[in-house]
Structures are given as C-alpha cells and as structure tokens.
Amino acid sequence: MESLQGSELCFPQLPNISCWKPMRHHAESIFLYILLSCISLLTVALNLLVIISISHFRQLHTPTNLLLLSLAVSDFFVGLLLMPIQILLLEGCWYLGTFICGLFYYASFILTSASVGNMVLISVDRYVAICDPLCYSTKVTRKRVKICVFLCWICSVLYNGVILIDFLKHPDRYNSCYGECVVVVNFITGAVDVVLTFVGPIAVIIVLYMRVFMVALSQAGAMRSHFAAVRPWGSVGVTAKKSERKAARTLGVVVIVFLICFCPYFYPSLTGQDMSTSVAFSVFGVWLLYCNSCLNPVVYTFFYPWFRRSMKVIVTFQILQPGSCDANIV
C-alpha cells in the first residue's frame, strides 16, 4: 500500500505561523513532477527552435514571422521561468520570499497578456493578407510590425503593473500563513481584466478568422467555377475542397485551443468570483493556460513547411556551417 506523505510544516522553525504541506501520494507527486517537467522542457525546446529559425535565416525575416517570433519569445519564457516555479509550488510551500512572489505573478501576468496580444496581431496580419492581398505589402511592413510588437509588450507591462500595483507594494498581504504566495484580484478589476485579455481578444480573433474563412471559401468557389468552365474534369475541384478544409481546420484549431486553455483560468471572473490562488490560480487552470504556450508553436508554426526544414538544419547542426543564414528554407 502506498503511504501518504505526512503533514509537515513548510517552516518547522516557525510552528505558530508556518503553512502546512498538503498530503499527497508519493507516486502522484512523482508523476506530476515528471509530466509537468516534460511539458516545461517541450515548451522551451519548441519555442527556442522557432526563435532560432526566424532569427537566423534571412529568408524568414518577414513581417508575419516577426509576429511569430514575438509570440515564441513570450511562450519561451513561460516554459523557462514560470513553469519551473509553478512545479515547485506543487509542494504547497513558497520558499523564495515575498519579493520573488510579487515578481513571479507580475511576470506571469505580463507574459500571458503579451502572448494574447501577439495572437491578436497574428490574426490581424492574416486578415489583411487574405482580405486585402494587393495592399498587404504597403500596409504591413517590418517597421510597422516592430512598432506593434513593441507597443504590445509595453502595454502589457504597464497594464499589469496597474492591475497588480497594490499586490506589488505588499506581496504578502493576502497570505494566510508564512510560506504562502497568493495574489487576489477583486471583482471589478477581474471583470475589466477578463474583458481586455479574454473576451475582447477572442472576439477579435473569431471575427477576423470568420472573415478570412468566408473570403477563402469565396476564392475557392471562384476558382472552381473558373476552372470548371475551362477544364470540367480537372483536379482543381479537389484542390479547392482541400483549401476549404484547411481553412476550416486552422480556424477551428486556433479558436478551440485558445478557449480550452483560457476558459478555466478566467472562469472565476466570468462567474463573478474573485480571482485567487484557490480558484483561478488552481493547478489545473494555471497549467492549462501555460500549455497554450506549448501548443502555440504547434498551431502557428508547424503549419509552415519552412519550420520543418529549418528545424532539420538546426538539429543536424548544419546551422553551424558558414553561410547557413542564407540557406534556401522557404
């Protein structure tokens, strides 16, 4: 029979104020540590491959890829910084002090907001590329994209600084015992936050991708009609249908993954509850949110053939050869 870990104080030398460690099966603890560590490593590895690919190969220095790069940077730091600390929190005790507690949650809020902002920018980029392709090169330039990415990060830093200003001044104000790291966002602030970082972005993404989807269907239908008149028994109809299915798949994956990963995290605010570590920052909600950073490079990058080619060059160390940055990747 498996034995339970005995109830112990986080700080035995402070018996009157120390938090208690939660009881958990040894096997359960080992499984969680291994599983979450693998997710963290996978998140870091996938996003690092994206960062190296776009940064190194000159062919990939396009406006769209700059947005993917920004997204990969935010997701990379989620896997490198936030996930390991969250793994330590599984023990139920905070050993890193109040300053790091405040810094951890501030960084968590910043990276999450920046990731959502980058996803919105990507949807805008795709909307312009599909719905106004003739003007895309003039409307979407590398300079404008860099400015948008910079504003996205700056706004994320300032916005979350305002939300957490009271918590950052007193990171231990919501702790019920010593060895705890808790942040609480009241209902009004939580309602504003859920609109700006969840409802608003998902509405923009859905509207833009629905418009892209409809335009893609319209273009596919026009192509079918045109080629059917020229070559009635050609294979264009099959190709057009594949394009329709691909557009539908991309739209579905983007929206569904976003909803699945973010809904549990924002559930308390959506139901009118305070956001605290006991609800919105539960292990399940937080890790599902973090998993979005692992899935982003899959959803947004693995659809591109150039990523598979660049990944092969990187993992086989061909990237170390002279002139590899000019390699034909696209």
* Residues in CB range of 133: below 8 A, 6 or more apart: none
Residue 1 lies in a domain: no
Q: 195: domain range?
A: 26-305
Average pLDDT in the 93-98 region?
Answer: 88
pLDDT in tens, 128-149: 888 888 888 899 999 999 999 9
pLDDT in tens, 46-61: 999 999 999 999 999 9
Give residue 205's pLDDT band: very low, low, confident or very high (50, 70, 90).
confident
Residue 250 lies in a domain: yes
What pLDDT, on a 0 to 100 scale, did the predictor assign at position 268? 62
What pLDDT, on a 0 to 100 scale, did the predictor assign at position 251? 59
277 has a pLDDT exceeding 50: no
Residue 5 lies in a domain: no
Residue 286 lies in a domain: yes
What pLDDT, on a 0 to 100 scale, did the predictor assign at position 5? 45
Residue 220 lies in a domain: yes
Amino acid at 29: S
Across 210-242, b (16+ Cβ under 10 Å) vs e yields eebbebbeebbeeebeebeeeeeeeebbeebee
Average pLDDT in the 277-291 region?
Answer: 70
- CATH value at residue 142: 1.20.1070.10
Return the bridge partners of 4, or none.
25
21 has a pLDDT exceeding 50: yes
Give the whole-angstrom CA distance, residue 135 versus residue 139.
Answer: 6
Residue 18 lies in a domain: no
Residue 106 lies in a domain: yes
pLDDT in tens, 207-252: 888 888 787 777 666 666 655 665 554 444 455 455 545 555 665 6
Q: Which of 319, 327, 230, 283 is nearest to 87 (CA)?
A: 283
291 has a pLDDT exceeding 60: yes
What pLDDT, on a 0 to 100 scale, did the predictor assign at position 236? 46
Residue 21 lies in a domain: no
Region for 12 from its dihedrals, namely left if φ exceeds 0, alpha if ψ lies in -120 to 50, beta otherwise: alpha
**For 81, which DSSP code?**
I
Give the whole-angstrom CA distance, residue 236 versus residue 270.
Answer: 46
How many separate helices (H) and strands (E) can be counted in the chain?
A: 12, 0
The domain tally of the chain equals: 1
Lookup result for tokens 């902002």: 117
